[in-house]
Amino acid sequence: MPDREMIIASLGTAGVEVVDFHWDSAGLPASAAWMLSACSTEDGREDVEFMFDDSCLIEGANAAWWDFAYTGRLFDEEGCFLVSVGPVDGEPSARPHWARVRLREEWDVIGKGVDRGVLGGLRD
């Protein structure tokens, strides 16, 4: 089971700073962060397609992520948002596990965040 320092370091590789952790059991289940990708376009999901051999893949995908996050009002008034994280420090796994984070000046959620498995992973 990861600890807080491991989560902070992992997110830091993508330029994401942990502000604090939320373990509110009455809140949204952490699995909801993954369910969004299963929504259909009829449910309002929007897709942007990229070619894996595009030399600007990471930059373009990061820009698309920012556009979706900004227009979708992911950020609060302090520029923070929630990221689903696994249980840490002996917390019961049935509770929601979130880190409240913000982007640093230099961030890369699609490249470094995905390459290291911090913020998801690429499909083969």
| Model confidence pLDDT, tens digit, residues 33-68 | 667 667 788 887 777 888 888 899 999 999 998 998
Question: Would you place residue 124 in the very low, low, confident or very high pLDDT band (cuts 50, 70, 90)?
Answer: very low
Question: Can you give the pLDDT at residue 22?
Answer: 75
Per-residue pLDDT for 16 more than 90? yes
* Cα–Cα dist 115/113, whole Å: 6
Going by the DSSP 8-state scheme, the letter that residue 73 receives in this structure is T
Residue 48 lies in a domain: no
Residue 12 lies in a domain: yes
Question: Would you place residue 75 in the very low, low, confident or very high pLDDT band (cuts 50, 70, 90)?
Answer: very high
Residue 26 lies in a domain: yes
Residue 101 lies in a domain: yes
Count how many domains the chain has. Answer: 1
Question: Can you give the pLDDT at residue 3?
Answer: 77
Question: Can you give the pLDDT at residue 44?
Answer: 75
With b for 16 or more beta-carbon neighbours within 10 A and e for fewer, the 88-111 pattern comes to beeeeeeebbbbbbbbeeebbbbb
Residue 25 lies in a domain: yes
On average, the pLDDT of the chain sits at 80
Residue 50 lies in a domain: no
Name the residue range of residue 101's domain.
4-39+57-115
Most confident of 7-11, 89-93, 118-122: 7-11
Per-residue pLDDT for 1 more than 60? no
8 A C-beta contact, residue 37 and residue 44: no
pTM: 0.77
pLDDT in tens, 103-118: 999 999 988 877 666 6
Residue 72 lies in a domain: yes
